[in-house]
Amino acid sequence: MRIGFLCNPIAGMGGRVGLKGTDGKVDEARERGAESRAPDRARRALDALAERAPAADLLAWGDPMGASEVRAAGFDPTVLGGPTDGETTAADTRRAVKAFREAAVDLVVFVGGDGTAADVAEALEGSEVPLLGVPAGVKVYSSVFAVSPEDAAYVAATFERTERREVMDIDEDEYREGEVHPELRAVAHVPVAERLQSGKQTSAGTVESLAEGVAADVEARPETTWVLGPGSTVGEVKEALGFEGSPIGVDVYRDGDVLALDAAESEILASLGEDNVIVVTPIGGQGFVFGRGNPQLSPAVVRECDLEIVASRDKLDDLRVLRVDTDDPELNEELRGWVKVRVGRFERRMMKIV
């Protein structure tokens, strides 16, 4: 096992001194008496790794980005480089990961938070090298982190396959003002393991909170025509918008007005404007987004609209993939690939349409 290991030494420094993060706040954090926590968490992960995989071949980046911690755990690392200045930056993280990638590592293990995860994922983009996070940041929304440093060592030593998972991040200035808007930054290869955390919830995660989030987006875009598909999940959206929709039909809504209830394809097309969005939920157990239960959403309609897929987490947990069957093979092909499915007020999960 050949592992590239790096540590973001300033990750999480702002948390205990009330800064809710360290982005752009390193000097202020230190003025408030903040101490680095990432090196200690790095050492915990490395000590556990030394017990489980003492023969692992570790590649490291120069201090203060992990080389000393790797040596302290008993490994003899190959140090491929180091930070350009005394203060580490995101560019240093990306340079380190690119060096690990060129050295053909089997896994990149990093210590940090969501910002570090995004930098690592960016440097690995286009490759199949997996990454694994040791959580050390104030905010850890991404699903690429192990539950604990010790769990990271266990996963690194035992994983056999990988899957694609989300790297999320938020704007820390907004976060400090009480606004939480997680944003998908990347989708990365990550070891498959039970000891990885799920993407962090920003709300209770109920269908009700999901519906409230969609309704807020609808109300913020009065010029947009919203084509609301059938199903109980989208039905909650209609209820949140203040009208009783057709439970197994398609309704059209714009700027506080219901333009069509239980609409046929022709009525939908007649109601569309310049900016249109379809909101649809996949069929439970089957995963069809189009082609089952919503024939009104014809290829002609779909081609005029952007797509918002919504679903409960439980429904997606039972689905490996999503499917489309629009009677238009060319459109089916255009729709295939990775898509974001809204599962909460803010959170989205990546699913693949096949």
In angstroms, rounded to a whole number, what is the distance separating the alpha carbons of residues 163 and 192? 6
Token readout for 293 is: 């239960």
Q: What is the pTM of this model?
A: 0.57
Sequence-separated (6 or more) residues with CB below 8 Å from residue 123: 93, 94, 95, 96, 97, 98, 101
CATH class of the domain whose range is 2-191? alpha beta
pLDDT for position 224? 98
Average predicted confidence (pLDDT) for the chain: 87
35-74 pLDDT, tens digit per residue, is: 677 899 899 999 999 999 999 999 999 999 999 999 999 9
Q: What percent of the chain has pLDDT over 90?
A: 58
pLDDT for position 16? 44
Helices (runs of H) and strands (runs of E) counted in the chain: 13, 16
Higher pLDDT, 19 or 128: 128
Token readout for 203 is: 């709300």
In angstroms, rounded to a whole number, what is the distance separating the alpha carbons of residues 300 and 336? 17
Please report the beta strands in 61-180, taking only residues with DSSP state E, as ranges in sequence order: 78-79, 107-112, 131-135, 162-169
pLDDT band at residue 29 under the 50/70/90 scheme: low
pLDDT band at residue 18 under the 50/70/90 scheme: very low
Strand partners, 108: 4, 131
289-299 pLDDT, tens digit per residue, is: 998 778 899 89
pLDDT for position 337? 94
Pseudo-torsion of CA 83, 86, 90, 96, nearest 10°? 10
Instruction: Please report, for the chain, the start and end positions of each structural domain, with discontinuous segments joined by +.
Output: 2-191, 207-353
Q: What percent of the chain has pLDDT over 70?
A: 87
154-186 pLDDT, tens digit per residue, is: 999 999 999 988 888 766 555 545 455 567 888
Rounded to the nearest 10 degrees, the angle between the axes of helix 38-52 and helix 149-158 is 40
Buried b (16+ CB within 10 A) or exposed e, 281-318: bbbbeebbbbbebbebbbeebbebbebbbbbbbebbee
